[in-house]
Amino acid sequence: MATTVVNPLREGLRLARTPEPSTIVIFGGSGDLTSRKLMPALYNLALQRLLPATFSIVGAARQPLTDKRYRDELHTAVGEHSRTKPLNEEVWRSFAEHLYFVGTPDERGYDTLGQRLDRLDQDLGTNANRLFYLATPPAAYEPIVKAIGAHGLRGSTGWSRVVIEKPFGRDRESARVLTETIHTVFREDEVFRIDHYLGKETVQNILVMRFANGIFEPLWNRQYVDHVQITVAETIGVEERAGYYEQAGAMRDIVQNHLLQLLALVAMEPPAAFDDKSVRDEKVKVLHALRPVDADRLSDHAIRGQYGRGFVEGVAVPAYRREQGVAKDSRTETYVALKCFVDNWRWEGIPFYMRTGKRLPKRSTEIAIQFRVAPHQVFSREASEGLDPNALVLRIQPDEGVSLKFGAKVPVQGIRIRTVNMDFDYGASFMVDAPDAYETLILDALRGDATLFTRRDEVDQQWAFVDPIIDAWATAPAAPPIYEAGTWGPADADALVTADGRAWRKA
């Protein structure tokens, strides 16, 4: 039983909500994710004075390392990857004093880990609050979770939670099996599945935009919205991730998690409260309402593509099949465009066009709500030539912000209308550096707030939507069409939208 004694000093404004004293155990503690993302995030939390009163970090991995060696390696890594530079050596020294490493090559290693954790609890009075972070390749998730259970690494008092990186499974079935394995050791409310998109400030701002303001929500439905476009465009190619990407493709890498998250945030009903249950309940309802794609008429709803060679930002880049680690006849998709419908009262009949791809001309993530045109044209046709329908665009990266497109009169004699943009620039209004997504998510997991993490039924519905498309493509005789690097994807993707008399936005 967790004993929570009220701290009478922690009352009132201004004091940041720091998590309870605890220990974070990172499996894959010497891996890439740890040194590039997790440690810099933890160090920056220390710098912002947001870590708990007593806190320690234990890295665990197969190969042995001494505490000293581990600290030295991370010192270099954090110095390189921290968003704040240069490293504050005083803070690092104090941070590193509470940083340990335990080798877990075999069963005995896990016992050693358990002993180390018990001793830290005793020294630091942390009440055995433990956060287990699985920063390993997915194949290691199940054995580690089982070992946590078998070696009693959950403390007898306090809380235990587990954070799991994406990808969570590679289809609906494997995701279910993984969840079941995790549930032998952790309850669902102790499981924190990461989708780092949800840790981004601007993604959270979608909820604030929609639900803290009174003026948008009345327009946010089929009465006023013509269609919605969601774009996640990357300029990079597969880089060093070919091993993973060949197996995943854009569908598993981006659509199943990030794109469907954005869709859910845009389409969801207002939650009753901003807490993990209410928000995720509403998101799951959207996924349930998502109309399954008809596999027989796949090309009316889902288009894939693979990049060929071309030019991106002025640089000649090779075709996907020429990338290191990619099969010469690879059929992995690097581009996906979808036309979806959310079959509910609010959105009936309104298409959601979504696209994502690598080696597109420009890095851009945005959600555009395209409104219907005014019902009756009061002005002459030539006066309104320069008039586009109203659009509200939520830009997620880069240049986070919101813009609203509307018509205004050109200052000449007579009426001439032109479309203007009213722009809200997030960066210019709040000059504070936005925290990194991992800082937000680690802090939330330490506090036990799961709002920004993916729940079991959410993952299940995400896979339920993408699985049939992936299967259909896998069995299709043709390879994905090739698009030239530095263009907006294959021609079929344009047809998906133009068939409805619409066009992709110039992102």
Nearest alpha-carbon partner for 486 in 334, 338, 366: 334
Please say which residue, 9 or 273, places its beta carbon nearer to other proteins: 9
Instruction: Report the residue from 1, 3, 329, 413 that binds other proteins according to the rule CB under 8 A.
Output: 3
Interacting stretch for other proteins, rule CB under 8 A, among 3-11, 70-78, 274-282, 495-503?
3-11
Among 31, 36, 54, 81, indicate the residue that binds other proteins (CB under 8 A). Answer: 54
Q: How far is the CB of 23 from other proteins (least distance, A)?
A: 13
Q: How far is the CB of 159 from other proteins (least distance, A)?
A: 12
Residue 261 CB-density burial (10 A; 0-12 exposed, 13-18 middle, 19+ buried): buried
Whether 42 and 131 have beta carbons less than 8 Å apart is answered as no
Nearest approach in angstroms of CB 99 to other proteins is 12
Sequence letter at residue 7: N
Single out the segment in contact with other proteins by CB under 8 A; choices: 18-26, 237-245, 446-454, 481-489.
18-26
Using CB under 8 A as the binding rule, whether residue 1 contacts other proteins is answered as: no
DSSP secondary structure letters along 142-160: HHHHHHHHHTT-S-SSS-E
Give the gyration radius of the chain's Cα atoms.
25
Q: In the set 31, 36, 46, 111, which binds other proteins (CB under 8 A)?
A: 46
CA pair distance 377, 325, nearest whole angstrom:
57
**Residue 425 sits in the site that holds other proteins (CB under 8 A):** yes
Q: Which of 67, 142, 269, 399 binds other proteins (CB under 8 A)?
A: 399
In angstroms, the Cα distances linking 67 to 57, 100, 102, 117, 269 are 11, 5, 8, 14, 49
Q: Which is nearer to other proteins, 127 or 461 (CB)?
A: 127
d(CA 253, CA 236): 14
365 binds other proteins (CB under 8 A): no
Residue type for 423, please? Answer: D
Total residues contacting other proteins by CB under 8 A comes to: 44
Report the C-alpha gap between 505 and 507 in whole angstroms: 5
Residue 258 is a catalytic residue: yes
- Is 404 near other proteins (CB under 8 A)? no
Tell me the closest approach of the beta carbon of residue 347 to other proteins, in angstroms.
Answer: 33
Q: How far is the CB of 135 from other proteins (least distance, A)?
A: 24
Instruction: Give, as ranges, the residues between 112 and 171 that touch other proteins (CB under 8 A).
Output: 123-127
CB closer to other proteins, 129 vs 356: 129
Report the nearest approach of other proteins to the CB of residue 13 (Å).
Answer: 5
Window 202 to 261, contacts with other proteins (CB under 8 A): none
Do residues 497 and 353 lie in contact, with contact meaning Cβ atoms separated by under 8 Å?
Answer: yes
Determine if 90 is a binding residue for other proteins (CB under 8 A): yes
Under rule CB under 8 A, residue 98 binds other proteins: yes
Told to check if 412 binds other proteins by CB under 8 A, we report no
Q: How far is CA 5 from the centre of its chain?
A: 35
Of the residues 196, 227, 258, 301, only one is catalytic, namely 258
Q: Which residue's structure tokens are 């995701």?
A: 175
Phi then psi dihedrals of residue 132, to 5 deg: -95, 125
Task: For CA atoms 142, 145, 148, 151, give the dihedral sign.
Answer: negative
- What is the nearest approach in angstroms of other proteins to the Cβ of residue 489? 26
Residue 101 token pair: 């490493």
The correct pick among 105, 348, 430, 498 for binding other proteins (CB under 8 A) is: 430
Candidates 93-101, 259-267, 330-338, 435-443 — which segment interacts with other proteins by CB under 8 A?
A: 93-101
Q: Render 71-102 in DSSP notation, one character per residue.
A: HHHHHHHHHHH-SS-S--HHHHHHHHTTEEEE
- Among residues 365, 233, 254, 242, the alpha carbon closest in space to that of 312 is found at 233
Contacts with other proteins, residue ranges (CB under 8 A): 3, 5, 7-16, 18, 20-21, 46-47, 49, 52-54, 88, 90-91, 93-95, 97-98, 123-127, 398-399, 423, 425, 427-432
Positions marked catalytic: 258
